[in-house]
């Protein structure tokens, strides 16, 4: 990668180096290494951001939607990555209360679990939900249960 202003070695003197992936870095590496900063920072291009701003969630399977309802099936698909209630509400264009209502039902059924990261409560699919989604997908493709 190219660096605009610095080449050579920099002594960190025990200060550590903060690596900051950035979607705005382009193909270049940016830093404050030539300055005598308290915390040396190296900004570099982030990887795998090709679809970062796309708003297309994986569609809920029809079979799963018939059993759980479209909203709950869609929420299960969206929870492939642990996500907070407010983010799910923003993506779906509904209130956080509506999402919370559906997530509570999914949690009570053992399909989602929660874990806290600081002040943020994240919801994620359980292994039961993964099996349910996988089963609904294979039934739709073949038209019959395996």
Q: What is the pLDDT of residue 144?
A: 38
Each residue's pLDDT tens digit, 108-122: 999 999 999 888 899
The class (CATH top level) of 62-142 is mainly alpha
For tokens 């005598």, the residue is: 36
> Model pTM?
0.55
State the chain's mean pLDDT as an integer.
Answer: 79
pLDDT at 36 over 90: no
For tokens 């709950």, the residue is: 72
Which sequence spans correspond to the domains of the chain?
2-45, 62-142
Instruction: Select the more confidently predicted residue: 23 or 75.
Output: 75
DSSP codes, 37-51 = -SS-EEEEEPSS-TT
Q: Residue 100's closest CA among 125, 129, 121, 69?
A: 121
Q: What is the pLDDT of residue 1?
A: 41
Instruction: Select the more confidently predicted residue: 126 or 11.
Output: 126
Q: What value does the mean pLDDT take over residues 53-81?
A: 80
Each residue's pLDDT tens digit, 1-32: 444 555 677 778 888 888 888 877 677 777 77
Q: What is the pLDDT of residue 45?
A: 80
């Amino acid at each position: 990668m190219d660096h605009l202003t610095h080449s050579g070695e920099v002594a960190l003197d025990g200060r550590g180096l903060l690596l900051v992936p950035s979607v705005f870095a382009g193909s270049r590496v940016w830093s404050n290494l030539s300055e005598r900063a308290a915390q040396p920072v190296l900004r570099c291009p982030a990887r795998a951001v090709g679809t970062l701003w796309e708003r297309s969630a994986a569609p809920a399977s029809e079979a799963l939607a018939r059993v759980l309802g479209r909203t709950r099936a869609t929420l299960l698909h969206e929870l492939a990555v642990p996500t907070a209630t407010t983010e799910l509400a923003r993506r779906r264009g509904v209130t956080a209360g509506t999402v919370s209502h559906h997530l509570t039902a999914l949690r009570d059924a053992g399909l989602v679990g929660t874990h806290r990261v600081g002040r943020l409560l994240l919801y994620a699919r359980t292994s039961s939900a993964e099996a349910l989604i996988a089963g609904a997908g294979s039934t739709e493709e073949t038209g019959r249960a395996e």
